[in-house]
């Protein structure tokens, strides 16, 4: 018989967000219950919160796939959240007198781990 673990994770990679701005949002939900974290993210004014909601839902769906029966969402807790730095997209902006200024567009990878 196969043993099911009570943990799951979800990862979103190559997101066009800064790691600093994403981490600010993720620190608010670390260690909270799923329903509470979802409510906090719904009312946050940051762009990163919409993406983090999708990653959180994906982690919950992964957990439901591992379990054979229906999961009580009130018992699901966020164990860990973290952001890794992704590759930086390097672009140039034309400036006066034929000069060019570099523009760095950061990317990040967001990981969320859940448990029952």
Structure letter (DSSP) for residue 33: B
Q: Give domain status of residue 110, yes or no.
A: yes
Q: Give domain status of residue 63, yes or no.
A: yes
- Cα–Cα distance for residue pair 94/102, rounded to 1 Å: 9
pLDDT of residue 88: 95
Q: Give domain status of residue 30, yes or no.
A: yes
Q: Are 83 and 28 in contact (CB under 8 A)?
A: no
pLDDT of residue 1: 42
Q: Give domain status of residue 2, yes or no.
A: no
Q: Give domain status of residue 1, yes or no.
A: no
Could you give the number of structural domains in the chain?
1
Q: Give domain status of residue 60, yes or no.
A: yes
pLDDT tens track, the chain, 116 positions: 445 578 889 999 999 999 999 999 999 999 999 999 999 999 999 999 999 999 999 999 888 888 777 788 888 899 999 999 999 999 999 999 999 999 999 999 999 999 98
The three-class DSSP label of residue 12 is: strand
Q: Give domain status of residue 47, yes or no.
A: yes
Q: What domain range is 81 assigned to?
A: 7-115
Instruction: Kindly state the helix (H) or strand (E) to which residue 83 belongs, with its residue range.
Output: strand 77-85
- Strand 7-15: give its sheet, edge to edge: 7-15, 108-115, 77-85
Q: Give domain status of residue 54, yes or no.
A: yes
Phi, psi of 65 (to 5 degrees): -65, -35
- Cα–Cα distance for residue pair 93/76, rounded to 1 Å: 46
Whichever domain contains 28, its CATH number is 3.90.470.10
């Amino acid at each position: 018989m196969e043993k099911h673990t009570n943990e799951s994770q979800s990862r979103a990679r190559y997101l066009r967000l800064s790691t600093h701005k994403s981490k600010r949002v993720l620190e608010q939900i670390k260690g909270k219950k799923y329903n509470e974290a979802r409510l906090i993210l719904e009312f946050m004014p940051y762009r990163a919160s919409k993406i983090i909601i999708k990653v959180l839902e994906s982690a919950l769906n992964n957990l439901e796939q591992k379990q054979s029966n229906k999961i009580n969402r009130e018992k699901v807790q966020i164990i860990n959240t973290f952001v890794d730095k992704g590759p930086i997209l390097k672009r140039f902006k034309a400036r006066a007198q034929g000069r060019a200024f570099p523009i760095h567009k950061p990317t990040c990878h967001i990981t969320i781990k859940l448990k029952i």
